[in-house]
């Protein structure tokens, strides 16, 4: 099991983040909520960067980022070499992002994803291991 799960969002992902935190706490995950703490407008790179810094210092941890569509958070997070952020809209994408890409950050659209779908995506992401093998060589090419 992952040591820590850091979660962060902007205002567009705030309401879904709150529900996801509750869901993961009930499943006994260790969640570190990095904000935002209310739905007031904020800049998504600020909240992405806080999570990215935490992952850098806790390489065995995972992250979850949320914004309105997930696109802004994906772009912002993937600017960092130690981050492999995957914007996932279904369980298959989440599973494959872990199996083939060793994604360490899951990105979800807070305005485009229902809570029910988000739970399934998160469960798939957190329960899937990296397959290594041929995928390791490919990841080294983007490192």
Q: Residues in the chain, how many?
A: 143
What does the buried/exposed string (b/e) look like for 55-64 if buried means 16 or more CB atoms within 10 Å of the residue's CB?
Answer: beeeeebbbb
* 115-127 vs 91-99: helix crossing angle, rounded to 10: 20
Q: How far apart are CA 21 and CA 30, in angstroms?
A: 10
Residues 6+ apart with CB under 8 A from 111: 12, 13, 68, 69
- Whether 100 is a known active-site residue: answer yes
> Which residue of the set 11, 80, 82, 100 is catalytic?
100
Check the CA dihedral 46-141-71-24 and report its sign.
Answer: negative
Point out the residues that are catalytic: 100
């Amino acid at each position: 099991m992952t040591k820590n799960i850091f979660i962060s969002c902007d205002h567009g992902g705030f309401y879904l983040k709150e529900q996801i935190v509750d869901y993961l706490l009930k499943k006994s995950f260790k969640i570190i909520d990095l904000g935002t703490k209310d739905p007031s407008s904020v800049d998504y790179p600020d909240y992405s960067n806080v999570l990215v810094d935490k992952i850098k210092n806790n390489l065995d941890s995972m992250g979850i980022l949320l914004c309105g569509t997930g696109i802004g958070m994906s772009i912002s997070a993937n600017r960092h070499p130690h981050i492999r952020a995957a914007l996932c809209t279904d369980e298959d994408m989440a599973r494959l992002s872990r199996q083939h890409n060793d994604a360490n950050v899951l990105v979800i659209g807070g305005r485009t994803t229902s809570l029910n779908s988000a739970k399934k995506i998160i469960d798939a992401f957190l329960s899937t291991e990296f397959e290594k093998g041929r995928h390791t060589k490919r990841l080294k090419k983007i490192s």
